[in-house]
Amino acid sequence: MSRRAIAAAALLLSLLAACRTEPASNAALPAAPRTAPSGMDLVSLTVTGAARSHVFTVEVARTPAQQERGLMYRRALGPDEGMLFPFDPPRPASFWMRNTLIPLDMIFIRPDGTIARIAANTVPMSEEQVGVNDPVTAVLEIRGGRAAELGITTADRIAWTD
């Protein structure tokens, strides 16, 4: 092959390389569902208050069996972890701490995302009912004392992606 032919072939290859199309970015695709070791879906949940917000990664207890077990038998819960118990339709909710080994903050969430109640540092293993009479769309459980550490109050709002 002559030098001229080699140069023409190289030019043609570089032009073809410049024209090739790239696959679509993964950013345009929906995120793959994330799953916790418990088998429950993981979602991001944000608590927003006056000039601050905090993001948690929470397991979603969707089924009656998942909701019944909740965080029972867990020995630890990370500072930005929790469990969300959604209700459809919204309803009054009541929980207990039977077989729950760690203290929890229970945050009762109204359908508009406002907080109806924060039950702080619930007592491990207690069978005392903790709840609200207002209809709630979900209850968020986080590590005991974490709501106070972050300054979460009933004036805050909660939202999650599902």
Location of structure tokens 């905090």: 54
C-beta atoms surrounding 126 within 10 Å: 13
Full-model pTM: 0.79
Specify which residues 79 forms β-bridges with: none
pLDDT in tens, the chain (162 residues): 555 544 444 444 444 444 444 444 444 555 556 888 888 999 999 999 988 999 999 999 999 999 999 999 999 999 999 999 999 999 999 999 999 999 999 999 999 999 999 999 999 999 999 999 999 999 999 999 999 999 999 999 999 987
CA-based nearest residue to 144, from 109, 117, 115, 106: 106
Please tell me the predicted confidence (pLDDT) of residue 39.
Answer: 84
With b for 16 or more beta-carbon neighbours within 10 A and e for fewer, the 36-72 pattern comes to eeeebbbbebebeeeeeebebebbbbeeeebbebbbe
Please tell me the predicted confidence (pLDDT) of residue 150.
Answer: 97
Taking the domain 31-160, which CATH number applies? Answer: 2.60.120.1140
Please tell me the predicted confidence (pLDDT) of residue 19.
Answer: 45
Length of the chain: 162
Please tell me the predicted confidence (pLDDT) of residue 28.
Answer: 53
151: left (phi over 0), alpha (psi -120 to 50) or beta: left
CA-based nearest residue to 106, from 92, 95, 91: 95
Please tell me the predicted confidence (pLDDT) of residue 162.
Answer: 78
Q: Convert 49-111 into a string of H (helix), E (strand) and C (coil).
A: ECCEEEEEEEEECCCHHHHHHCCCCCCCCCCCEEEEEEEEEEEEEEECCCCCCCCEEEEEECC
**CA-CA distance, 161 to 42, in Å (whole number)?**
10
142: left (phi over 0), alpha (psi -120 to 50) or beta: beta
